[in-house]
Amino acid sequence: MSAPDYPPPAPHPAPPAPPKNGLGTAGFVLGLVGLIFSFIPIIGVVAWPLVILGIIFSALGFARARSGKATNKGLSIAGLVLSVIGLVIAIVWATAFTKAANDVNTEANRSVTVHYEVTGTAKDASITYTTFGDGSTSTNQEKPKSLPWSKDLPTKGLFKGGSLAVTTGTEGGEVTCKVVVDGKETKTAKASGNFATASCDGF
């Protein structure tokens, strides 16, 4: 008597491949960290590589999710959005810093004319004023024979200010000092009497 024929056992189905969520998750993390750093001046420069990598990884993660190889499609989209926002903020900061650097460079090379002027009735006035050199200043004094008196002093670079003072002598009288920087009046002062001083400084 022969043994009965039994059907061969059915093969077990292969276990499903685990989802490949690594790229989408990495893109989200990089985008989030890059966005946070992008708000910080100077330090925000490190946001550039983070947000760029965040865009790349999030896009790859999104592509995997669409093909069914990953399950974190929403996280990939969030990472892509965060990375793009971080990139925009980083570009804005870079533009602002470039403009500021250009403005400083322009100001440092700009020529400025400082005009000193003294008027009044004093006959023996003594004038003390600041002159400008290459990044330095010096003090000078003059005793004009009569008023009005004026002097134009060119200066180049970042103008830090100067001073002008006029003092009457024993004969007294009135004096007025005035400072004009680059065509704009910045300081004026008056004094009268014996040994009175009009001071134009802090401009």
**Angle formed at CA 42 by CA 37 and CA 46, multiple of 5 degrees:** 45
Question: Which residue is listed with tokens 């910045």?
Answer: 186
- Number of structural domains the chain divides into: 2
Is the pTM value of this prediction over 0.75? Answer: no
**HSE-CB of 17 using CA atoms within 13 angstroms:** 7
Q: How much is the pLDDT for 33?
A: 93
Choose the final residue of a domain: 107, 131, 151: 107
Residue holding tokens 């925009």?
Answer: 88
Query: Does residue 76 lie in a domain region?
Result: yes
Is residue 69 in some structural domain? Answer: yes
- Do residue 160 and residue 193 come from a single domain? yes
CATH code of 126's domain: 2.60.40
Query: In the beta sheet, which residues pair with residue 104?
Result: none
Per-residue confidence (pLDDT) for residue 6, from 0 to 100: 59
> What does each C-alpha distance from 102 to 88, 96, 98, 99, 106 come to in angstroms?
21, 10, 6, 5, 6
Taken in order 142, 145, 150, 156, is the CA torsion positive or negative? negative
Residue 13, in any domain of the structure = no
Q: Of 65, 87, 107, which residue sits at a domain end? A: 107
Do 116 and 196 share a domain, yes or no?
A: yes
Residue 32 domain-assigned (yes or no): yes
Residues 164 and 195 reside in one and the same domain: yes
8 inside domain = no
| Run means of pLDDT, 10 residues per run, the chain, 203 residues | 60 71 93 90 82 94 91 93 93 86 73 90 92 73 93 76 90 94 90 94 80
Which pLDDT does position 137 carry in this prediction?
A: 76
For residue 135, the model assigns a pLDDT of: 61
Angstrom distance (rounded) from CA 49 to CA 83 = 10
pLDDT score at 201: 87
Q: Which domain holds residue 128?
A: 111-201
| Domain assignment of residue 73, yes or no | yes
Domain boundary among 68, 87, 107: 107
Tell me, what amino acid is at 132?
F
- Are 83 and 34 in contact by the 8 Å Cβ rule? The answer is yes
Domain identity same for 97 and 129: no
Residue 46 lies in a domain: yes
